[in-house]
């Protein structure tokens, strides 16, 4: 039996109520869920958005949840197939979304950690990175399975899982005939078009700058992906992020220049140049970057500390309910992969990490690799339990994954320091432990949201869990390939000006700091102090810290997107404001996908040309004209975003 819309009990439960899923199969023939078209469309959409999110994360230090755009595009693909006489069920669409959305979580874990290997001068093989990413993703999915019955079913009405609920609403609305998918396609097309103009043909400057006295500088990037991110985040978070960027550009950089202008010797960590001789970018790279790293580390730790009560309670409740999963379930909508299967897979992963050289670090000792594998599983199990519950309260985008990873790296690096494994190989091994934990915590949050969607719709949990495993296995290799491709074919590589990879640089600094004890701690403590003050004023500390760390040009584009959302929704009724917000978010998701995909395609084009960089058309514009063209491009981009947000599609 199929209902037309979600029941009011999908949102909250009153005393004595019980949720009835949208679809109840009863005694009739089973409704198709995991079909060939569902699996293939999920894999392809996962590869698309996984690559886009990888590019975005390396450029801006953050990723977006792709469950909703993947769900929308799934319905579009299925309707296109319907033109050829094929039908689909909402559970097939949900399966495709489940498989496709897994890639973004894998991408988050990979780009938060793996680029540090390249910064250390190591050259990891694609097979090595892929197996490492698969291991983290599989552990995350498997460790969450015993918690599903408690967190998703028994805590329904208490844990909202916002993305999971929103995704269910999108699938129900799409089945009812909504045309909202057009916004995603418009965003994809426009995002690709603008990236080709800016980063490909270079007809439009990629960003514009306005030099000010004392090395201060105002700048904004002409980036559709970043503008889309700003619209998704909203005005408050975007304003906090740009405030952090303004502090770096207008206070820290000029302050360092004035303080060091008359000095006759280089100031650590710089070894050669005098501060008075440095450009704005050089001051940012050699000094402000460390202040920003301290800010991000402090923000992650504060987020983790605030989450400790939830973590402890979640872990305690999770352990207390694991035993109940051993009981056989007779209801199809309550079937999980067996606990025995979960344990067998995790043991197999630990054995692979231990006895297959090169996956978990470079140290040629099965004993060391086995010890590192056990550390990874222990940390991963704890943070999977934590992540699965936290995202139920605040959503995937607010999941403190970076804080969990920092905590893992601090613990692992301290143990490695005590064991004497302090060389580059020891650092790489510690980082890879963090990679497994980071991916596991990230994918556990996504799995929880997907299982919530399935619970609301009436899907079979066991089949969804298989779908999550498929999504991890099929996307891991492509995400790692994109990371390697961008490192080899983007100017400066990972950690450079084009792709600063801020989260990975932070993880590298954490490991270097513990194992070498050779960091400019004064700069790091300055950043930590700035964030501590921001926390006293109840600001979103992680958003503020990322703004300090990243160049102002990045934060400027994010702010413009957030400002556009504010302007198109501020004077509308609640229903109209929500409609415009949702339509704009879908369009912004398309911009992110299109911009990221175009960035990957341009890097692939450079690789195919044997490393020859794209020079563009070289129009020979003067600086004022370039600024004018860049400003005009931003104005057009914002107008398109506003127009799509206010456009009615129903």
Segments in 356-423 forming alpha helices (H)? 366-394, 401-419
Provide the b/e sequence for 306-316 (b: ≥16 CB within 10 Å).
ebeeebeebbe
Tell me which residue has tokens 């004064």.
522
Q: For residue 439, what pLDDT is reported?
A: 92
> Both ends of the chain: CA-CA distance in Å?
27
Q: For residue 464, what pLDDT is reported?
A: 94
397 pLDDT band, cuts 50/70/90, is low
C-alpha closest to that of 137 among 376, 459, 319? 376
12 pLDDT above the threshold of 80: no
621 pLDDT above the threshold of 60: no
Provide the b/e sequence for 535-564 (b: ≥16 CB within 10 Å).
beeebbbbbbbbbbbbbbbbbbbbbbbbbb
Question: What would the two tokens of residue 462 be?
Answer: 């066991």
Q: For residue 351, what pLDDT is reported?
A: 93
- DSSP-based three-state secondary structure for 456: helix
- DSSP H or E segment with residue 497: none
User: How many angstroms separate the Cα of 633 from the Cα of each of 29, 197, 220, 398?
Assistant: 55, 10, 11, 31
530 pLDDT above the threshold of 80: yes
In this prediction the pTM is 0.71
Between residues 148 and 391, which one has the greater pLDDT? 148
CB-side neighbour CA atoms (13 Å) of 320:
7
Question: What would the two tokens of residue 90 be?
Answer: 């909402």
C-alpha closest to that of 122 among 454, 466, 435, 487? 487
Backbone angles phi, psi at 208, to 5 degrees: -120, 150
611 pLDDT above the threshold of 60: no
Please give the average per-residue pLDDT across 488-516, as a whole number. 80
- Segment of 55-64, 248-257, 329-338, 521-530 carrying the highest mean pLDDT: 248-257
Q: For residue 467, what pLDDT is reported?
A: 94
Tell me which residue has tokens 């000095």.
263
Please give the average per-residue pLDDT across 354-376, as a whole number. 84
- String of DSSP letters for 303-354: HHHHHHHHHHHHHHHHHHHHGGGGS---SGGG----HHHHHHHHHHHHHHHH
Q: For residue 617, what pLDDT is reported?
A: 47
Q: For residue 533, what pLDDT is reported?
A: 92
Backbone angles phi, psi at 494, to 5 degrees: -75, 135
Question: What would the two tokens of residue 522 be?
Answer: 């004064």
- DSSP H or E segment with residue 360: none
Tell me the C-alpha distance between 122 and 426, whole Å: 12
Q: What is the pLDDT of residues 428-466, one digit of tens each?
A: 888 888 899 889 988 988 898 899 889 988 899 999 999
Would you say how long the chain is, in residues? 650
Contacts of 450 (CB under 8 A, 6+ apart): 67, 97, 98, 101, 102, 164, 167, 464, 467, 468
- String of DSSP letters for 227-289: HHHHHHH-HHHHHHHHHHHHHIIIIIHHHHHHHHTT-SS--TT-SS--GGG--HHHHIIIIIH
Backbone angles phi, psi at 615, to 5 degrees: -90, -20
Q: What is the pLDDT of residues 476-495, one digit of tens each?
A: 999 999 899 888 887 778 88
Question: What would the two tokens of residue 269 be?
Answer: 């960590």
Segments in 145-248 forming alpha helices (H)? 148, 162-175, 181-195, 224-233, 235-247
Contact 588, 561 (CB under 8 A): yes
Contact 334, 319 (CB under 8 A): no
Q: For residue 205, what pLDDT is reported?
A: 66
C-alpha closest to that of 592 among 228, 109, 146? 228
DSSP state of 540: -
User: How many angstroms separate the Cα of 253 from the Cα of each of 60, 268, 298, 533, 559?
Assistant: 20, 16, 21, 19, 21
Question: What would the two tokens of residue 634 be?
Answer: 């931003």
Burial class of residue 593, CB neighbours in 10 A (0-12, 13-18, 19+): buried
149 pLDDT band, cuts 50/70/90, is confident
Q: What is the pLDDT of residues 193-231, one digit of tens each?
A: 887 777 767 666 667 778 888 888 888 777 787 788 788
141 pLDDT above the threshold of 80: yes
Percent above pLDDT 90 for the chain = 12
DSSP state of 153: I
Tell me the C-alpha distance between 597 and 47, whole Å: 10
**Cα dihedral: 409, 413, 415, 416 (round 10):** 140
Mean pLDDT estimate for the chain: 78
């Amino acid at each position: 039996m199929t209902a037309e819309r979600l029941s009011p009990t999908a949102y909250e439960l009153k005393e004595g109520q019980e949720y009835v899923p949208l679809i109840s199969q009863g005694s009739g023939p089973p409704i198709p869920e995991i079909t060939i078209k569902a699996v293939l469309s999920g894999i392809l959409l996962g590869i698309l958005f996984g690559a886009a999110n990888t590019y975005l994360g390396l450029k801006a230090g953050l990723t977006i949840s792709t469950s909703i755009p993947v769900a929308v595009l799934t319905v579009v693909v299925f309707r296109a197939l319907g033109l050829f006489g094929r039908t689909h069920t909402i559970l097939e669409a949900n399966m495709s979304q489940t498989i496709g959305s897994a890639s973004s979580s894998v991408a988050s874990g990979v780009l938060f950690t793996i680029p540090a290997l390249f910064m250390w001068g190591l050259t990891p093989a694609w097979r090595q990175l892929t197996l490492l990413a698969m291991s983290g993703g599989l552990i995350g999915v498997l460790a969450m399975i015993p918690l599903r019955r408690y967190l998703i079913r028994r805590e329904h009405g208490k844990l909202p899982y916002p993305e999971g609920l929103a995704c269910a609403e999108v699938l129900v609305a799409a089945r009812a005939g909504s045309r909202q998918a057009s916004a995603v396609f418009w965003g994809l097309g426009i995002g690709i078009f603008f990236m080709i103009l800016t980063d490909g043909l270079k007809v439009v400057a990629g960003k514009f700058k306005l030099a000010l006295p004392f090395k201060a500088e105002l700048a904004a990037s002409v980036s559709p992906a970043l503008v889309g991110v700003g619209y998704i985040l909203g005005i408050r978070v975007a304003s906090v992020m740009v405030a952090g960027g303004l502090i770096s550009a207008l206070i820290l950089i000029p302050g360092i220049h004035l303080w060091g202008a008359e000095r006759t010797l280089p100031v650590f960590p710089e070894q050669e140049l005098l501060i008075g001789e440095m450009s704005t970018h050089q001051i940012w790279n050699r000094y402000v970057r460390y202040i920003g790293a301290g800010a991000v580390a402090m923000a992650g730790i504060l987020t983790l500390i605030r989450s400790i009560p939830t973590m402890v309670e979640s872990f305690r409740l999770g352990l207390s309910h694991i035993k109940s999963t051993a009981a056989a379930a007779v209801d199809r909508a309550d079937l999980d992969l067996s606990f025995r299967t979960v344990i067998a897979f995790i043991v197999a992963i630990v054995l692979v990490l231990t006895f297959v050289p090169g996956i978990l670090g470079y140290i040629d000792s099965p004993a060391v690799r086995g010890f590192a594998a056990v550390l990874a599983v222990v940390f991963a199990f704890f943070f999977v339990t934590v992540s699965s519950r936290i995202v139920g309260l605040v959503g995937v985008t607010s999941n403190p994954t970076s804080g969990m990873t920092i905590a893992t790296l601090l613990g692992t690096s301290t143990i490695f320091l005590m064991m004497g494994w302090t060389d580059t190989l020891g650092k790489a091994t510690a980082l890879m432990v963090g990679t497994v934990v980071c991916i596991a915590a990230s994918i556990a949050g996504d799995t929880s949201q997907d299982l919530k969607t399935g619970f609301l719709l009436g899907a079979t949990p066991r089949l969804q869990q298989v779908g999550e495993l498929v999504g991890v296995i099929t996307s891991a290799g492509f995400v790692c390939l994109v990371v390697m491709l961008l490192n080899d074919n983007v100017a400066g590589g990972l950690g450079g000006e084009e792709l600063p990879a801020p989260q990975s640089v932070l993880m590298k600094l954490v490991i270097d700091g513990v194992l070498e004890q050779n960091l400019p701690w004064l700069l790091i403590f300055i950043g930590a102090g700035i964030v501590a003050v921001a926390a006293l004023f109840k600001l979103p500390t992680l958003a503020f810290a990322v703004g300090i760390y990243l160049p102002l040009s990045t934060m400027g584009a994010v702010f413009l997107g957030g400002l556009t959302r504010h302007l198109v929704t501020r004077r509308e009724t609640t229903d109209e404001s929500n409609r415009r917000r949702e339509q704009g978010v879908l369009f912004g998701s398309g911009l992110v996908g299109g911009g990221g995909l175009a960035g990957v395609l341009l890097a692939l084009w450079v690789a195919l040309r044997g490393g020859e960089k794209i020079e563009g058309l070289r129009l020979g514009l003067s600086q004022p004209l370039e600024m004018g063209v860049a400003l005009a491009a931003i104005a057009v981009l914002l107008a398109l975003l506003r127009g799509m947000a206010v456009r009615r599609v129903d």
